[in-house]
Structure 1
């Protein structure tokens, strides 16, 4: 079961976006979608049998002008979007996730995770965290780890909360979609490697983030973030050229209609170009890879309210559309 989005006058910014769609009892296909809900099956339009959105991104520089021409044609009319199922827009090979990248969010987490024996006031611990973050932004490097593609699910699919997850939490994030191979690229040219942007909700079980049995090792991102369906993605990939300033986008997440996260990407300590350049110094980025840029303040640990069966999350980012997902407790 999935929760469908509310109708919108414009689904996203710009003349078109990429999506993965399916009709009832049919295979999913790569699609061009217009802001008013018209669709084009790119397998037929580009004459490539078996094409996927990942395949489109692998040939992004050549295909992009064709997509612009398709979107500009007033006569395009495929199956109406309302008659199709919207899936995660792509299946990436690699996912890179930036942690502790929103200043206020990290300060809140620092305060929420009080160390045993730390009797200082909240104001004292908050001031300490603020100083650490300012020094980090000025002198240090981004903190990036990898995620599993099997954690991805669609933007309107139910999210199953594993029986072992004691503190499941939400983390709305701007996701960068890579459009060409990138290895050891400088910050100055890093933006040239971005194909577009989409929405990700990087769910996390806070209870398993830190290893209690092996504290010296630190965080356990495998267990805490990579359960099946823990990364609702999409609905669309909006081309980079349609987003005027990715460094100033509003992210909002509502839980059962109540706003929990409401922040701008201005609060990121390390911007998109810095993140891409940093990752590319160690790893080779490939077309279709995702780079999640971190989550702003307002997670469940901050509010003292974590996810449970029946919760509905509505997430939105300026120009990128909305996603809606319902939480369902796992049954044995």
Structure 2
């Protein structure tokens, strides 16, 4: 099968289209014929081995990514199932999250795969798993009717889902984004929009019940300044690609954990866990029209390196999707 592989850390130039063996599903896995895959900040972090300190974690290798094939979010059709699989069968249209999604086939644990929302295209469904799950876990139970929410990075992959979810939960949503994305986030349900090229939402004097930081480009002091006295700060910033950093967004997360016991604000360093239960919830929300994936651009599989360049360098709005099998 064709797949996007990488043998050492580096820029998108290290990504190549190659022939590799089609995976064989384990007992608890499903083999999916990939129709589309999407990119996340996690993908460029793994591609570059950035921040450098992350290379000590189990997901990274010292000199190259542990997983040969890039990508994690996918949508497609089940081709085969392992002996222990009970929920899914060949022919099911599904979406989910597993290493190796930028390929014609991916083998994924059943617990990370769910039925695709019926009315969404494969490209739209592929845009959802990691980003929509992060937004769901970051906001569910933390915002509700009458509460105020500030989203830093509202036009990104996670942000576009967060705006829609918060709007559905009844919160007053203030979205921070650049000029070209103002109309996008407003159309998704933002009540107020702050164009960061013109105004600074963290020094305007307004206070919010919840601040959701999806960028990691502000100090902990700035973020807390925007909170009400008993407000909640949720950190899930993926950082901005600068070609290499020692700590990147991990530095902010570490400082927040050190500060948390000594401040009145509640500080949450969000750690998302992929799972079919979250994907099932998201499918219901999508089928009800509560959330609609926003796709910025699509690229064919051979141009996946170009898709990664765009994600890194152009501050992509919403999601960047790679099409794999075009049909049938």
* TM-score above 0.5: no
TM-score by length of 2: 0.24
Larger RCO (CA within 8 A; separation ≥ 6): 1
TM-score by length of 1: 0.24
